[in-house]
Amino acid sequence: MNYEKICKSACELAIQAGSFIRDQQRLISSEKIETKGLHNYVTYVDKTAEKKLVEGLLKLLPESGFIVEEETIKKTDEKFNWIIDPLDGTTNYIHGLPPFAVSIGLREHDEMVAGVIYEVSHDECFYAWKGSRAYLNEKEIHVSDITKVTDSLIATGFPYYNYNRLAKFLATIEYFMKNSHGLRRLGSAATDMAYVACGRFEAFYEYGLSPWDVAAGALIVERAGGTVTDFNGGLDYIFGKELVSSNTHIHEEFFSIIKEMMR
């Protein structure tokens, strides 16, 4: 398997889908927005972009299966599965705000082997494959060299529907507001992880996540020199609905704070 070729072909598909998403933004109106659940929205743009991605990715790997947000295809494979969010940050998108991104990950058995995040509004394509470095628009990227949480800029995401842990989560927000360079909530987990990978953020954490939110980003962060775990310090972060990612240098300190306060 030529992971580099597969990854770069997926980049081209992500950029094509992103172009469609960008062109359609001015046409979005309230009657074209559907509600899937509490604070969970979808448009024809999400669904059409996903169909375009699935069609293109099937040409790359005809035998592959898919784990997709909008369920435009129901097909899984024992070996290869694409994990796709065609438009991560839909709420931002429908309100005319950045960021919003296309996220494509390829999983071989239990291992991520390719990851692509195309942040549409800034025309930035982040990507990595098994054994590679991480890249942004063909230039190598790496995590920051900050070594203390107090010197870090932290990203997080707000829960959309699971408020059972909200009090503990709000306590973490208060802590990082007081003990870091600041806290940011961009509204796109894929973009948050891409920004950890290129050193704009030192760390990102969130709970209530879906596989398509984090699959591509986790690989890109790791190939950029970062560390990704779940809230227990384990590796169940793609399907486990919670994730901590960092530049590695602050991970032990950062993770210990999350673990203590969220558990």
Per-residue pLDDT, 230: 95
List the beta bridge partners of residue 97.
Answer: none
The CA–CA distances, whole Å, from 106 to 34, 73, 240 equal 28, 16, 18
Task: Report the share of the chain in percent with pLDDT over 90.
Answer: 82
Per-residue pLDDT, 159: 84
Share of the chain residues as helix, strand and coil, in percent rounded to the nearest 5: 40, 25, 35
Higher pLDDT residue, 256 or 46?
A: 256
Confidence of residue 263 (pLDDT cuts 50, 70, 90): confident
Residue tagged 């770069």 (tokens): 8
Mean confidence (pLDDT) of the chain = 93
Per-residue pLDDT, 71: 81
Lowest mean pLDDT among 1-15, 16-30, 174-188, 241-255: 16-30
Question: Could you tell me how far CA 172 lies from the centroid of its own chain?
Answer: 21
Give pTM, 2 decimals. Answer: 0.94
Per-residue pLDDT, 37: 47
User: What is the token pair recorded at 3?
Assistant: 């992971």
Per-residue pLDDT, 39: 45
pLDDT digits (tens, 9 = 90+) for 150-175: 999 999 999 877 788 999 999 999 99
Confidence of residue 69 (pLDDT cuts 50, 70, 90): confident
Per-residue pLDDT, 107: 97
Mean pLDDT for 253-260 is 96
pLDDT digits (tens, 9 = 90+) for 73-91: 888 888 999 999 999 998 8
The CA–CA distances, whole Å, from 90 to 5, 24, 157, 177 equal 29, 13, 14, 26
pLDDT digits (tens, 9 = 90+) for 30-66: 555 665 544 445 678 888 999 999 999 999 999 999 9
Contacts of 37 (CB under 8 A, 6+ apart): 160, 161
Taking each helix axis as running N to C, give the angle between helix 211-223 and helix 189-197, from 0 to 180 degrees, rounded to the nearest 10. 0
Mean pLDDT for 10-26 is 94
Contacts of 177 (CB under 8 A, 6+ apart): 183
C-beta of residue 74 within 8 angstroms of C-beta of residue 91: no
Task: Give the chain's domains with CATH numbers.
Answer: 3-141 (3.30.540.10), 149-262 (3.40.190.80)
User: What is the token pair recorded at 102?
Assistant: 């296309």
C-beta of residue 184 within 8 angstroms of C-beta of residue 201: yes
Per-residue pLDDT, 46: 87
Q: Residue 57 CB: number of other CB atoms within 10 A?
A: 22
pLDDT digits (tens, 9 = 90+) for 175-191: 999 999 999 999 999 99
Q: Is the pLDDT of residue 96 over 60?
A: yes
pLDDT digits (tens, 9 = 90+) for 139-153: 999 999 999 999 999
Instruction: Please report which residue ranges of the chain form alpha helices under DSSP H.
Output: 3-24, 44-60, 90-94, 166-179, 189-197, 211-223, 251-262
Higher pLDDT residue, 26 or 103?
A: 103
Cα–Cα distance, 98 to 25 (Å, whole number): 11
